[in-house]
Amino acid sequence: MPYNLQASVARIGATLFFSLMATVGVFAQSDMTAEADEAFDRRGYFEAAREYVALYAKIKSDVKLKAYCAFQAGEAYRLHHKPEDATEWYDKAIGLKYGNKNSKVFLLYGDALRDQEAYDEA
């Protein structure tokens, strides 16, 4: 086999391998939050908030997943009309750099502060 062809096949194989590994990681993440996501999707915000908070406490090393759970808990509390709790969880998501992935967290944090009439902080 010519060297160029062999190198191309090796690159394609490596690309497929890493793509597959990334996909497996995404499915593992969604399995962990599946119940909470399902509750959130069916508008069971109180139940979803409890699930996300419980997951947040369990997660030790996956910062991205922990930030996602904090943001989703904030969203569930906001939609359940609990701005004090929403503010707490948005603040945790911001502390975990979730704003780098989803800048909407800053707007929602400000809105939750405004709902509490904390205008200076908002």
The verdict on residue 40 lying in a domain is yes
Could you tell me the end-to-end alpha-carbon distance of the chain, in angstroms, rounded to an integer?
Answer: 65
Q: What letter would DSSP give residue 60?
A: S
The residue segments making up the domain with residue 84 are: 32-115
Which CATH number goes with the domain that contains 47?
1.25.40.10
Is 15 within the bounds of a domain? no
CA distance 4 to 110: 56
Could you tell me if residue 5 is inside a domain?
Answer: no
Does the pTM of the predicted model rise above 0.85?
no
Tally of structural domains, the chain: 1
What pLDDT, on the 0 to 100 scale, is given for residue 117? 85
What pLDDT is attached to residue 119? 74
Q: Which pLDDT tens digits describe the chain residue by residue (122 residues)?
A: 566 666 665 566 556 555 544 443 444 456 899 999 999 999 999 999 999 999 999 999 999 999 999 999 999 999 999 999 999 999 999 999 999 999 999 999 999 999 998 877 76
